[in-house]
Amino acid sequence: MAHTLSAEQLLGTALRAQLANGSIPKHTALDKDVSELGDYTVTDQIIDLHNANCKDPRRTFVVNSLVKHLHAFIRETMLTETEFTAALKFIDQAVKAGDIGGFSEMYVAGASLGVLTLLDELHNPRPKGSTLGALEGPFFIRENVPVLPSGSSICSSETVGEKMFFSGTVRNMQGRPIKGALIDIWQADGDGLYDVQYKKGADDRARITAKDDGTFTFRGVMPTAYGLPDVGPTTELLSSLGRHPYRATHIHFQLAAPGYQDLITQLSPSNALFLADDSVFATKRDLIADVSEDTNPSNWGTMGFNEAEVRKAGGRVWVWKFDFVLPTPDECEAAKKQLKEKLATRV
């Protein structure tokens, strides 16, 4: 006499045990035709499955949105299996590349496609009239940073580069100075390298407190543009797209003051190259500092420089000026609300 096996009996012992103890969900009947030619596609099938089984609403939302957009991208481009395999190979190579020249290859990939800048703008919107944020980058450190008074040099005497003098103010949205604002500064040297890439002590970085009138100054070297690592899968991708891997010249800043929203940003000089095609899209017009060239020796001493050191380094001082404007947390919350309303109209 023939016996009909149940669906559970067609499973191995381990799977039957998992079904019995609830560690995997009960099977779902396939009662719809799944086809691109029909009304119910594999996209619908996946989303329905997640909705029925996932207990985390946020995870369900994020993954379902990813599936929708990924599948829409595949349909729009009619992506081939060969192209999909190439994309997987790129990801695999980027993961295996690890850290190249002080940069994580996955960080470089995300930054060069604008992902990191987009994330920063979505989650840290600044109200109109305040200083915009920008990427922190991979070279910020919290430990062993020199704490210096305003007017100090942030670099050692051996640091490569032409001389630079920076003067800034820190104000609130109403134009009043913010006394005691704490400013972290870090930058590359005249060869486009950060201190951590030399594996030496802190250089071209400092922590300075603004004066009572919100002003601060420091001396250093003029940073130069530099490129992302010229090896690795991301560089190959950029080259295939007709793009270069270079960053515009910049200085990083992090500002904090009680009662105000912290700011992480980076400034570029007005004479910089690559402002429009910065490889990680971290440059913004509002973050271009007014920079001039001072070749008058009588001014160098006022800035704190020795004439001989300036002449040895090129015979000029690059003078930067910039006014930082910090909003309050409430003012930033209002900007977030405005952004959410704007994004809602795009859906």
Structure confidence by residue, pLDDT tens digits, 38-69: 999 999 999 999 998 889 999 999 999 999 99
What is the per-residue pLDDT across 282-326, written as a single tens digit (0 to 9) for each? 999 999 999 999 999 999 999 999 999 999 999 999 999 999 999
Report, as an integer, the average pLDDT of 238-249: 92
**Cα maximum dimension of the chain:** 110
Sorted by where each begins, the domain ranges of the chain are 7-77, 111-338
CA distances from 299 to 134, 166, 214, 316 (A): 32, 14, 23, 10
pLDDT confidence bin for 5, thresholds 50/70/90:
low
Whole-number Å distance between alpha carbons of 196 and 139: 7
Report, as an integer, the average pLDDT of 4-21: 74
pLDDT confidence bin for 142, thresholds 50/70/90:
confident
CA distances from 77 to 36, 81, 191 (A): 15, 12, 42
Which residue's entry shows tokens 């210096």? 148
Residue 217 corresponds to which tokens in the numbers above? 């100054």
What is the per-residue pLDDT across 198-227, written as a single tens digit (0 to 9) for each? 987 899 999 999 999 999 999 999 999 999
Over 60: is that where the pLDDT of 259 sits?
Answer: yes
Give the per-residue SS3 of 196-235: HHHCCCCCCEEEEECCCCCEEEEEEECCCCEECCCCCHHH
Over 70: is that where the pLDDT of 3 sits?
Answer: no
Q: What pLDDT is recorded for position 256?
A: 98
Instruction: Provide the mean pLDDT of the chain.
Output: 92
Length of the chain measured in residues: 347
Q: Output 142 or 10, whichever has higher pLDDT.
A: 142
Sign of CA dihedral 18, 19, 21, 23: positive
DSSP string, 239-289: HHTT---EEPP-EEEEEE-TTS--EEEEEEETT-S-SSS-TT----GGGEE
Q: What pLDDT is recorded for position 310?
A: 96
- The architecture (CATH level 2) of 111-338 comes to Sandwich (2.60)
Over 90: is that where the pLDDT of 183 sits?
Answer: yes
Helices 105-112 and 115-123, axial angle in degrees (round to 10) = 70
At 324, the amino acid letter reads F
